[in-house]
Amino acid sequence: MPQALSKQARELKQCQQCFKSDSKEAPLQTCAKCKRAHYCSRECQVKDWKNHKRLCAMNREMRAAMKSDDVLIDETLATIGMTIADGENKMKKWVQYYKAALGISVVHALRLQTTPEACLTHLLTFTLVPKFTAENPPRKDKDIWTAFKVENIQVLSFEECIQARPELEAQFDTIALKTKNSWKENFKTIGFPITLIQIPCIRTTRFIPIGIEGPPEELVRWEPQWKENLTTIVEQGIAI
């Protein structure tokens, strides 16, 4: 049976429009097209569609391209012992399991306590490297939590990322617009800081905007050891 999400992880699985947290009593629904965005109601999904439409299409195109790449399929099976679809499914669970840790880490990484505007200019990025081979891939959900190690943790500007990967510009623009719109609705809101996770073993990137409510002075106090903490959390499989 799949492991239940921690309370903190559920709270960071949120409606992309109104920031409402996921709960057992009122679980969020997932966008049927891209399987990435979550909403608490049809009304919120309709309101956010103008912002989400572009990102939704890009997510679907990326998934379709991966599934049709025979060379990538063969390489993925040889490297990690699972199909691309299975690898994507496991990574989705990995991200959700660590969503609370990712949310806290991006707050510290961008120093949103004092520079909330960094949501529009910088992001947190790191690489996930498998600790397993094709002979011993993670089979159960609980095996996924400790199956990867975190490397190359960095804070980069949008400009640096776009220079290396121009195709990301549209996604940055979409999320920046969501942040600006959230400011119009509530000036105390921080916005949608971005975490970009590189996963070379399946040649994919997980683009994770996490809605952070404010005001800045109520955020957790800045932790200078946040990189070490993130690495340890993933190493030990801790759902904070």
Q: Write out pLDDT tens, residues 128-150.
A: 988 887 788 888 888 889 989 99
Residues 84, 185 share a domain: yes
- Strands, E assignment, 105-186: 122-130, 148-157
Model confidence at 90, pLDDT cuts 50, 70, 90, reads confident
76 — pLDDT class (breaks 50, 70, 90)? low
Query: Alpha helix locations (H) across 31-157?
Result: 42-67, 70-80, 84-97, 99-109, 141-144
Co-location of 15 and 82 in the same domain: no
- In this prediction, residues 167-191 reach a mean pLDDT of 88
Query: Which domain covers residue 210, as residue numbers?
Result: 73-236
Residue ending a domain, choose from 11, 42, 68:
68
Tell me, what's the pLDDT at 2?
30
Whether residue 145 is found in the same domain as residue 28: no
Strand-pair partners of 154: 125
Specify the pLDDT at position 193.
Answer: 95
Between 169-185 and 42-67, two packed helices, what is the crossing angle to 10 degrees?
170
